[in-house]
Chains A and B, each alone.
Chain A
Amino acid sequence: MIMQYRILPFLCFLIFCFAISKGRAEALSISKMNPAIAAVGEFGASTSDDPALEHPHEILFHGGDLDLYASVDPYFKAELVIAFSDKEVDFEEAYLESMALPAGLKVRLGKFKTPFGKWNTVHGHALPVITMPLSWERLFGDGGLNESGVAISELVPFMPTYHEIIGLVLNGNNTTAFNGAKTRDLLYMGHLKNFFELGGYRTLEAGLSCARGRNNQTDDPALYSLIAGANLIFQWKHFMLPMERALTLWSEVYHSRRETADSSHAVTTHASTGFFVLGKLLFAKRWYATCLYDYSGDPLETGENFNSISAGIAFQPSEFSEFKLEYRRLTEDSHGINPINEFKAMAIFTIGAHGPHAF
């Protein structure tokens, strides 16, 4: 009896509690129809002992990216990356990607950084070094192999590990390797991405790439370039302190076979190879060091082979800002020119939406 007496006021109170707890969710639904927007800015300083440079000491705002990202509808997502530099404004990427095709198929349409290796797919500000490896830059040009086209990809079925095959048909409007946009030919590319868990916090990504397309604009004779590449990325993280101790070893090799013609229209093939090996060590929370060795053969037949080694250190106050300092020593093999030494510093900041963490 006493028990019941105590329960009565109690039940009134409980009804009140229920009423509150039902009302809360609606207040949270903020309109999120606008695309996620992030802006990245890069500010740099450099000094070099290269006698050929007009301005060996520079402090400049390099420009930035404006990144817009959203689901278009239940079937597609879209991303636009607009790059602003001191010279121009351009779409660095602008593409539509399928989200719900059957059988694990994925299609991407538009302009995007093509998956020739992994380096080529990552935005400059997200890479751990300031100066891009020449083995990559001399082959694909400033900004890399960034093309308009279609990519279709699929996971290899019935495998216990991750294997992805990507086939691409592209316009072939690259400044260096492929330059046949005004011809009847397109650029064809393929990439096989493999990923392995090695136990603990150790992983390995291995990829193979191949691309073939025109490198000249005239059909008399039509000249083709064939580029094959391989990439290998090993990552280790400390099992208790993955944010404080981690190591990445990253290497890519590119082999180019470029057809050229002499004045009598006789076609010859010029072969060259380039590669880089990068080590990145996270040695404390927010701090990492890098070391890069880079060899660039002679992809455009200019007669120059470059060797460079660089070392850098970076500090990230938060996920959204980063300061990097880098030293590079560049040697040109064949002409016996003195090595060039340069120091670079860069500050990078991101404002706006929280993008995905790089892996």
Chain B
Amino acid sequence: MNCSKQFLIAAVSCFTAWAGPLKVIATFPDLKWAAEQIGGAEVKVEALGRGNQDPHHVDAKPSFMLMLNKCDIFIQNGLEQEIGWVPPLLEGARNPKILKGAAGFIDASEGIRPKEIPLSADRGLGDVHPSGNPHYLIDPVCMLTVLENIHEGFVRNRPDKQAYFDENLKASKTDLLVKLIGMPLLKALGPDSVRALLFSDEFAAMIKENRLPAPVEGWIKKAQPFNGVTVICYHQSWKYFTDRFGMTIVGYLEPKPGIPPSPAHLLQMKNKILDESIPLIITDTYHNPKTGNKLAEMTKVKALWLPNLVGGVKEVTTYPGLFEYNLGKILDALSK
């Protein structure tokens, strides 16, 4: 009896060992980074899209189908960001484990409160995302939710490793919060309260009026000089970032989402920049910087070409690196 029980345990542990790390495929490098934080040695993660590739337009290549065919877990950005390419990939992957609703399917946007939900889903307004702006990965606070969603998915697939995933989740959230707001504020409030505060619209006012129980540090402090700065962006992809770091987007180089800039629209933007003395134009590295540069030449404002995703420039290889790089570049541009 005892012997057979021992044998069973041995067999199960053998099987688990044989199963090896979970094979995880994420749509973007930021999600890959998040999965690696939670999964650690228990996962092997690959990303389909690259950081300098338009996230709306990754090719649904058969080679990706093959990767998905062999994986245990699939993580997508969601909010219809990948609507043009993930559905055919999942269909072609022939892997019931990762179909929507199955244990291996993780939608990282679960629980994210989308910004800019259009009042009507009308293509006359451009290639709108009906569920709201899907470019939330560029907000570190949204990344906390992403880490939790991925944690939940990993636990669902490897319940025996829950303790390990729990520990990684706690550590990675703490690490990200320390980088974002600094240790003193995190210690004073605790991670859950800090999080709720960051999700509220009151945070900026509280910093300004010095109503916080401890001084703010980290990226938020680094970004204090941007507070109130107006900016023109190429696409909707910076909304979560500018909201987080206190900037205001006052115009887009795209006349409507997904529609390339027209000469008439650029003239309008040029006048706007001059009239309202807007200091900055931001283009993501998956769009051509040409338009932003041309406008900068005409108006003498700064045009930045910044990564919106991890890997958007070769210097940025981690998620925290994305903020170090972008905040540094914006500070540089504004101080000149």
A62 within 8 Å of B (CB atoms): no
How many B residues touch the partner, as a band? Answer: 35 or more
Question: A14 touching B87 by the CB < 8 A rule?
Answer: no
The answer to whether B62 touches A195 (Cβ under 8 A) is yes
Contact for A242 among B57, B60, B80, B211, CB less than 8 A:
B57
The interface centre, meaning the residue of B62, B117, B131 with most chain A CB atoms within 10 A of its CB, is B62
CB distance from A355 to the nearest CB of B (A): 8
Interchain nearest-CB distance for A44 vs B (Å): 23
State how many angstroms separate the Cβ of A73 from the closest Cβ of chain B.
11
Identify the interface centre among A24, A195, A196, A354: most chain B CB within 10 Å of its CB.
A354
Q: Are A161's CB and B66's CB within 8 A?
A: yes
Among the stretches A5-13, A123-131, A172-180, A208-216, the one at the interface with B is A5-13
> Which residues from 80 to 129 on chain B have a C-beta closer than 8 Å to any C-beta of chain A?
80, 83-85, 87-88, 91, 94-96, 99, 101, 110-111, 113-114, 117, 123, 126-127
B306 within 8 A of A: no
Complex: A116 Cα to B85 Cα, angstroms: 24
Contact with B along A159-192 (1 / 0, CB 8 A): 0011010000000000000000000000000000
CA of A176 to CA of B17, assembled, Å: 58
CA distance A28 to B311 in the complex (A): 31
Q: Which residues of B are found within 8 Å of A336, using beta-carbon distances?
A: none
> Does A357 lie within 8 Å of B57, measured CB to CB?
yes
The answer to the question of A109 belonging to the interface, with a C-beta cut-off of 8 Å to chain B, is no
A11 to B123: give the CA distance in the assembly, Å.
44
Which A residues are in CB contact (< 8 Å) with B61?
195, 197, 203, 359
Q: Do A203 and B127 form a contact, CB below 8 Å, given A6-B213, A104-B69?
A: no
Does more than half of chain A's interface fall in helix, strand or loop, or is it mixed? mixed
The one of B87, B111, B131, B258 that contacts A356, using a Cβ cutoff of 8 Å: B87
For B167, the chain A residues whose CB sits under 8 A away are: none
Q: Known contacts A17-B199, A21-B113, A105-B94: does B59 contact A359 (CB below 8 Å)?
A: yes
Q: What separation, in Å, do the CA atoms of A357 and B94 have in the docked complex?
A: 19
Bound Cα distance from A243 to B110, whole angstroms? 30
> Is A241 engaged at the interface, CB distance under 8 Å to the other chain?
yes
B2 within 8 A of A: no
Interface bits A288-321 vs B (CB < 8 Å: 1, else 0): 0000000000000000000000000000011110
Flag if A3 contacts B52 (CB, 8 Å): no
Q: B288 and A356: CB pair below 8 A?
A: no
From residue B60, how far is it (CB to closest CB) to chain A in Å?
Answer: 5
Using Cβ atoms and an 8 Å threshold, which residues of chain A touch B193? 10-11, 14
Contact flags B190-207 to A (C-beta < 8 A → 1, else 0): 000100110110100000
Report yes or no: A13 in contact with B202, Cβ–Cβ below 8 A: yes
Type the 1/0 row for B257-272, where 1 means its CB is closer than 8 Å to any CB of A.
Answer: 0111000000000000
Q: Which residue of B lies closest to A284 (CB)?
A: B260
Interface string of A129-168 (1 = CB under 8 A from B): 0000000000000000000000000010000011010000
Q: A21-B199, A357-B60 are in contact. Are A351 and B123 (CB under 8 A)?
A: yes
* A77, CB-defined interface residue at 8 Å: yes
Given A21-B199, A161-B66, A351-B123, 19 more pairs with CB closer than 8 A: A7-B188, A7-B189, A10-B189, A10-B193, A13-B202, A17-B196, A17-B200, A25-B110, A155-B66, A155-B69, A162-B65, A193-B62, A195-B62, A205-B62, A286-B260, A318-B127, A318-B258, A357-B59, A357-B60
Q: Which residues of A contact B (CB under 8 A)?
A: 3, 6-7, 10-11, 13-14, 17-18, 20-21, 24-25, 28, 74, 77, 97, 99-102, 104-106, 155, 161-162, 164, 193, 195-197, 203, 205, 237, 240-244, 285-286, 317-320, 351, 354, 356-357, 359
User: Can you name 22 A-B residue pairings with CB atoms under 8 Å?
Assistant: A6-B213, A7-B188, A7-B189, A13-B197, A18-B196, A21-B196, A24-B113, A102-B96, A193-B62, A195-B63, A197-B61, A205-B62, A237-B59, A242-B57, A317-B259, A320-B123, A354-B84, A356-B84, A357-B59, A357-B60, A359-B61, A359-B88
Minimum-distance CB pairs A-B, first 10: A195-B62, A100-B96, A17-B196, A162-B62, A104-B94, A357-B84, A356-B88, A17-B200, A162-B66, A14-B196
